[in-house]
Structure 1
Amino acid sequence: MTMNERKMIDLEQGWEFMQKGITKLKNILEGLPEPQFSSEDYMMLYTTIYNMCTQKPPHDYSQQLYDKYREAFEDYITSMVLPSLREKHDEFMLRELVKRWTNHKVMVRWLSRFFHYLDRYFIARRSLSPLNEVGLTCFRNLVYLELNGKVRDAVISLIDQEREGEQIDRALLKNILDIFVEIGMGQMDYYENDFEDAMLKDTAAYYSRKASNWILEDSCPDYMLKAEECLKREKERVSHYLHSSSEPKLLEKVQNELLSVYGNQLLEKEHSGCHALLRDDKVNDLSRMFRLFSKIPRGLEPVSSIFKQHVTGEGTALVKQAEDAASNKKVQPDSVGLQVFVRKVIELHDKYLAYVSDCFQNHTLFHKALKEAFEIFCNKGVSGSSSAELLATFCDNILKKGGSEKLSDEAIEETLEKVVKVLAYISDKDLFAEFYRKKLARRLLFDKSANDDHERSILTKLKQQCGGQFTSKMEGMVTDLTLARENQTSFEEYLGNNANANPGIDLTVTVLTTGFWPSYKSFDLNLPVEMVKCVEVFREFYQTKTKHRKITWIYSLGTCNLIGKFEPKTMELIVTTYQASALLLFNTADRLSYSEIMAQLNLTDDDVVRLLHSLSCAKYKILIKDPNTKTISPTDSFEFNTKFTDKMRRIKIPLPPVDEKKKVIEDVDKDRRYAIDASIVRIMKSRKTLCHQPLVMECVAQLGRMFKPDIKAIKKRIEDLISRDYLERDKDNPNLFRYLA
Structure 2
Amino acid sequence: MRRGASGALAQSLGNVHTGDARDAWMGIARAFPRTSGATPKLAISGAPTPPCAAPLMPSKAAMDEVVGALMLGTLHHCPLQRLYRAVQDVCALQDTAAMQHVYNTSVARLRRLLDAEVDACLKRTPPNNVALHLECMWQSYVAKLARVEQLLAPLLGGAWYAAKVGTSLESVCFAHLQRQLQVLRVEPVLMQSVCAVAQQLREAPHETSLVRSLQSVLRMLRALGLYERVCGMLAAQASAYYTTLAHEFYETDPGAHISAMYACILCEDAWKDWLYGAEAERVLQAMQRTLVSEHVAQLTGLVPLLAEQHAYSTCSMLYHLLARSDVLDALRAALRDYVHERGMALVQGAQDTMMERLVAFQDETRDLWAEGLQHDRTMQHAIRDTFEAVVNARGGKPAELLAQYIDVKLRGGNKIMSDVQLEQCMDNALSLFRHMHDKDMFEEFYKRCFARRLLLSRSASDEAERSMLLKLKREAGPDFTEKLETMLKDMQLSNGLMAAFSDRDTRLPFDFDVHVLTQAHWPTFPDVHVALPPPMMDAMHDYEAFYATVHSGRSLSWRHALGYLVVTVDLGKAGVRELYISTFQAAVLFVFNHAKRGEAIGYETIRAQTQLEPSTLKRTLQSLASGAIPTRVLRKHPQGRDVLESDTFTINEALKNDRKRIRINQIQYKETAEEQRTTEERVFIDRELILQAAVMRILKARKTIAHTELMHAVVQQSKLRFAVDASELKKAFERLIEKDLMERVEGERGVYRYVA
TM-score by length of 1: 0.61
Greater Cα offset, 129-138 or 346-355: 129-138
Counterparts of 2:460 and 2:543 in 1: how far apart (Å)? 29
Q: Which residue of 2 aligns with 1:453?
A: 463
Q: Which residue of 2 aligns with 1:634?
A: none
Structure 1 position 211 matched with structure 2 position 246: yes
Q: Which residue of 1 aligns with 2:447?
A: 437
Alpha carbons 1:287, 1:360 under 8 Å: kept: no
Deviations 1:2-45 (A, max 9, x none): xxxx9999xxx999999998996676345563789989988997
Q: What letter corresponds to residue 423 of structure 1 in structure 2?
A: F
1:435: Cα distance to partner? 1.3
Q: 1:391 aligns with which of 367, 381, 402?
A: 402
Counterparts of 1:84 and 1:24 in 2: how far apart (Å)? 18
Q: Which residue of 1 aligns with 2:193?
A: 154
Q: 2:254 aligns with which of 220, 224, 242?
A: 220
**1:226 to 1:505, Cα distance in 2 relative to 1, 3 A:** closer
Deviations 1:161-194 (A, max 9, x none): 66678x9998577345325347869xxx979744
Q: 2:340 aligns with which of 312, 318, 326?
A: 312
**1:574 to 1:352, Cα distance in 2 relative to 1, 3 A:** closer
Q: Which residue of 2 aligns with 1:177?
A: 215
Q: What letter corresponds to residue 174 of structure 1 in structure 2?
A: R
Counterparts of 2:225 and 2:745 in 1: how far apart (Å)? 72
1:204: Cα distance to partner? 1.4
- Within 5 Å, give how 1:40-439 maps onto structure 2: 81=114, 85=118, 88=122, 90=127, 91-92=129-130, 94-100=132-138, 103-104=141-142, 110=149, 150-160=189-199, 171=209, 174-175=212-213, 177-178=215-216, 180-181=218-219, 193-216=228-251, 218-224=252-258, 227=261, 254-265=287-298, 268=301, 275=304, 281-284=308-311, 287-296=313-322, 297-298=325-326, 301-303=329-331, 305-322=333-350, 338-350=351-363, 353-356=366-369, 364=377, 367-381=380-394, 386-400=397-411, 407-409=416-418, 415-439=425-449
Counterparts of 1:450 and 1:716 in 2: how far apart (Å)? 44
**1:73 to 1:355, Cα distance in 2 relative to 1, 3 A:** farther
Unaligned runs of 5+ in 2: 1-49, 573-577, 592-609, 623-647, 654-661
**1:678 to 1:97, Cα distance in 2 relative to 1, 3 A:** farther
Alpha carbons 1:391, 1:432 under 8 Å: kept: yes
Greater Cα offset, 528-537 or 31-40: 31-40
Deviations 1:121-157 (A, max 9, x none): x99xxxx999799779957985799976653332103
Alpha carbons 2:564, 2:582 under 8 Å: kept: yes
Q: Which residue of 1 aligns with 2:481?
A: 471
Q: Which residue of 2 aligns with 1:555?
A: 558
**1:170 to 1:398, Cα distance in 2 relative to 1, 3 A:** closer
- Within 5 Å, give how 1:603-642 maps onto structure 2: 612-613=613-614, 619=620
Q: Which residue of 2 aligns with 1:327?
A: none
Give identity over the alignment, percent.
20
Q: Which residue of 2 aligns with 1:712?
A: 727
Counterparts of 2:694 and 2:154 in 1: how far apart (Å)? 89
Alpha carbons 1:562, 1:575 under 8 Å: kept: no
Counterparts of 1:373 and 1:20 in 2: how far apart (Å)? 90
1:432: Cα distance to partner? 0.8
**1:380 to 1:129, Cα distance in 2 relative to 1, 3 A:** farther
1:436: Cα distance to partner? 0.3
Counterparts of 1:378 and 1:95 in 2: how far apart (Å)? 68
Alpha carbons 2:110, 2:173 under 8 Å: kept: no
Counterparts of 1:620 and 1:116 in 2: how far apart (Å)? 120
Deviations 1:234-288 (A, max 9, x none): 689899x9699999987765444233323424555xxxx555666xx5444x743
Greater Cα offset, 483-492 or 692-701: 692-701
**1:46 to 1:317, Cα distance in 2 relative to 1, 3 A:** farther
**1:176 to 1:516, Cα distance in 2 relative to 1, 3 A:** same
Alpha carbons 2:396, 2:441 under 8 Å: kept: no
Q: 2:547 aligns with which of 538, 554, 574?
A: 538
Counterparts of 1:726 and 1:70 in 2: how far apart (Å)? 114
**1:678 to 1:153, Cα distance in 2 relative to 1, 3 A:** farther
Q: 1:510 aligns with which of 515, 527, 550?
A: 515
Counterparts of 1:370 and 1:33 in 2: how far apart (Å)? 79
Q: What letter corresponds to residue 553 of structure 1 in structure 2?
A: L
**1:93 to 1:265, Cα distance in 2 relative to 1, 3 A:** closer
Q: Which residue of 2 aligns with 1:488?
A: 498
Counterparts of 1:658 and 1:265 in 2: how far apart (Å)? 48
Deviations 1:315-355 (A, max 9, x none): 43344443xxxxxxxxxxxxxxx323333433444555555
Q: Which residue of 1 aligns with 2:684?
A: 669
**1:18 to 1:446, Cα distance in 2 relative to 1, 3 A:** farther
**Backbone CA RMSD of aligned residues:** 6.5
**1:458 to 1:244, Cα distance in 2 relative to 1, 3 A:** farther
**1:175 to 1:311, Cα distance in 2 relative to 1, 3 A:** closer
Deviations 1:284-307 (A, max 9, x none): 4x7435414522324555455445
TM-score by length of 2: 0.60
Unaligned runs of 5+ in 1: 1-5, 53-58, 323-337, 544-549, 584-608, 622-642
Alpha carbons 1:148, 1:194 under 8 Å: kept: no
